[in-house]
Amino acid sequence: MHSDLIGKIEKARRYAQEPERLEINELKMSVRGDNDTTHNVTLNDGHWDCTCSFFHTWGTCAHVMAVQRLLTPVLTPKAREADLAIDYQRELYKEEEAASLV
């Protein structure tokens, strides 16, 4: 094997053992759900999206969370977190609950 190629292979092994060197900024992948449906998960500039209906209500879903768990070592800190609409939904629920007590 050519010595230049051997050096590149060794460097690649070292890089792979140091995931902090890598950072995923954009990503598009398909995730097969339980019902044999395929959902497209994308990451762009730290923001997630998924084609499933749950994501569009809550800002995260099982598909995004699975990808996050799998890729955590190479995700930016922003991408490790979901763009949670859950906090918004929680605040909305608290406001509705408080209004019903009045």
Given this model, what pLDDT does residue 49 score? 95
Range of the domain at 71: 3-101
Given this model, what pLDDT does residue 38 score? 96
Written as tens digits, the pLDDT of the chain (102 aa) is: 678 898 999 999 999 898 888 888 899 999 998 888 999 999 998 899 999 999 988 889 999 999 999 998 888 888 887 655 555 555 666 777 777 776
Cβ neighbourhood burial of 72 (10 Å; 0-12, 13-18, 19+)? exposed
Contact 22, 15 (CB under 8 A): yes
Given this model, what pLDDT does residue 62 score? 93
Question: If DSSP states are collapsed to H, E and C, what string results for 55-97?
Answer: HHHHCCCHHHHHHHHHHHHHECHHHHCCCCCHHHHHHHHHHHH
Instruction: Indicate the number of domains in the chain.
Output: 1
Given this model, what pLDDT does residue 3 score? 81
